[in-house]
């Protein structure tokens, strides 16, 4: 720990109290990620899962008992917060149920095309993806596996999750769709939902556009400032997720904490001493093969929103030299936890505390 931190906390009991609250909750959360299925009802352009043939790498476990057994094994190992992805997890509520039965902090990542039942899943966080916003969302995501075009994906997701406080839109911003950000956020707000910003990575051509990203940062900050209750992401996170840069370094493989700690490919990375998420692994749909990390493994262009958030969270020592820096870190941490309906930082918990149903 930075030696300046105890002195800083002694001078600022308000920050000490916030740090203590964040740390006490974070200690209860041990995350892992599971590819719940290789199937999906879409074929989005820019989907790392299909662009990298993850659906072909393993055969998914289909028998009814396999998932409850697997979920129990993970729970016995101390996992409390499974992130269920795919493919499309809402296609298999029974598999989600297996995790809900044994773990308190379940999140699934969905394209929003199907409503996920509330009954029995009231405390399951549902992270809904939007690519670009406006017409770009359908252009990138509106593809059925058959190649048929699908229109109105955001309309469908908004209708399926209207006023549903389990839902958080993971709004993946794109430099070419800056003009759509304000309207897309307003629609999310009017629908009674919230969002976190992410940043689009193009796995097809890998071309980066620094000028476009700088302009996108300005747009994102402006819209976030106008919708503070809807856009959960704070400024330091927005800058980091769009540019990959912070004052203490650049996001990339050498610092990314969201990799499978038991995967042999990472022995050298683990040895470099940069922190990783304790016990974090990513399990393929066969439940026995480890994927390398929480997303594609294409580190050069990766801006995975949860990986960038996690990097900032494990980088607390870089924020402890001044009170304003520590405040930045606390804003990042609290906004991260606000995404999850099962966390005490979520607006549901705040409403319950105020006695509002
Ligand atoms: S919905 Fe998700 S898993 Fe399915 S194609 Fe789109 S990004 Fe990939
Ligand atoms: S692809 Fe992204 S999440 Fe995966 S190891 Fe690389 S930087 Fe981390």
Going by C-alpha positions, the residue among 235, 242, 270, 256 that lies closest to residue 313 is 256
Q: Is residue 186 part of a domain?
A: yes
Residue 137: phi and psi, rounded to 5, are -60, -50
Alpha-carbon Rg of the chain, whole angstroms? Answer: 20
Q: Is residue 355 part of a domain?
A: no
Residues with CB under 6 A from ligand 2: 252-253, 256, 258-259, 293-299, 302, 304, 307
User: Which numbered ligand comes closest to the C-alpha of 295?
Assistant: 2
Assess whether the previous peptide bond of 87 is cis (omega < 30° from 0). Answer: yes
Question: pLDDT by residue (tens digit) across 268-305?
Answer: 999 999 999 999 999 999 999 999 999 989 898 898 99
Query: To the nearest whole number, what is the mean pLDDT of the chain?
Result: 94
Task: Identify which of 86, 144, 157 to mutate to test ligand 1's pocket (most ligand atoms within 8 A of the CB).
Answer: 86
Q: Which three-class secondary structure state does DSSP give residue 243? A: helix
| Domain coverage including residue 314 | 4-270+278-349
Q: Tell me, what CATH number does 95's domain have?
A: 3.20.20
User: Which numbered ligand comes closest to the C-alpha of 299?
Assistant: 2
Residue nearest atom 8 in ligand 1 by C-alpha distance = 47
* pTM, 2 dp: 0.95
Question: pLDDT by residue (tens digit) across 34-64?
Answer: 999 999 999 998 788 998 899 999 998 778 8
User: What sign does the CA torsion over 237, 243, 249, 255 have?
Assistant: positive
Domain count of the fold of the chain: 1
Q: Is residue 67 part of a domain?
A: yes
Angstrom distance (rounded) from CA 310 to CA 314? 6
Residue nearest atom 6 in ligand 2 by C-alpha distance = 299
Those residues whose C-beta lies under 8 Å from the C-beta of residue 73, and which sit 6 or more positions away, are none
């Amino acid at each position: 720990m930075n030696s300046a931190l105890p002195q800083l906390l002694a001078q600022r009991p308000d920050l000490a109290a916030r740090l203590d609250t964040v740390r006490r909750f974070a200690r209860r959360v041990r995350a892992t990620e599971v590819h719940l299925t290789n199937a999906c009802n879409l074929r989005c352009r820019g989907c790392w899962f299909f662009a990298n043939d993850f659906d072909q790498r393993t055969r998914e476990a289909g028998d009814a008992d396999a998932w409850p057994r697997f979920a129990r094994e993970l729970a016995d190992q101390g996992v409390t917060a499974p992130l269920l992805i795919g493919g499309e997890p809402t296609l298999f509520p029974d598999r989600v149920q297996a995790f809900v039965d044994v773990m308190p902090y379940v999140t699934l990542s969905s394209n929003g095309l199907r409503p996920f039942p509330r009954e029995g899943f009231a405390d399951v966080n549902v992270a809904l993806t939007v690519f670009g916003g406006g017409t770009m969302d359908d252009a990138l995501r509106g593809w059925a596996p058959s190649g048929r075009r699908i229109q109105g994906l955001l309309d469908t997701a908004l209708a399926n999750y209207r006023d549903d406080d389990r839902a958080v839109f993971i709004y993946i911003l794109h430099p070419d769709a800056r003009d759509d950000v304000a309207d897309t956020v307003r629609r999310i707000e009017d629908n009674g939902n919230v969002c976190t910003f992410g940043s689009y990575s193009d796995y097809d051509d890998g071309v980066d556009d620094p000028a476009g990203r700088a302009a996108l940062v300005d747009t994102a900050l402006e819209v976030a400032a106008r919708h503070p209750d809807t856009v959960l992401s704070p400024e330091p996170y927005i800058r980091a997720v769009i540019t990959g840069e912070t004052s203490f370094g650049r996001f990339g493989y050498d610092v990314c904490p969201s990799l499978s700690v038991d995967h042999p490919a990472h022995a050298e990375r683990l040895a470099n001493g940069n922190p990783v998420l304790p016990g974090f692994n990513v399990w393929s749909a066969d439940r026995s093969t480890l994927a390398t990390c929480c997303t594609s493994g294409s580190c050069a262009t990766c801006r995975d929103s949860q990986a960038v958030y996690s990097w900032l969270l494990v980088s607390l020592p870089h924020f402890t030299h001044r009170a304003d820096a520590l405040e930045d870190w606390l804003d990042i941490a609290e906004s991260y936890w606000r995404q999850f309906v099962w966390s005490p930082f979520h607006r549901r918990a705040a409403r319950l505390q105020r006695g509002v149903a």
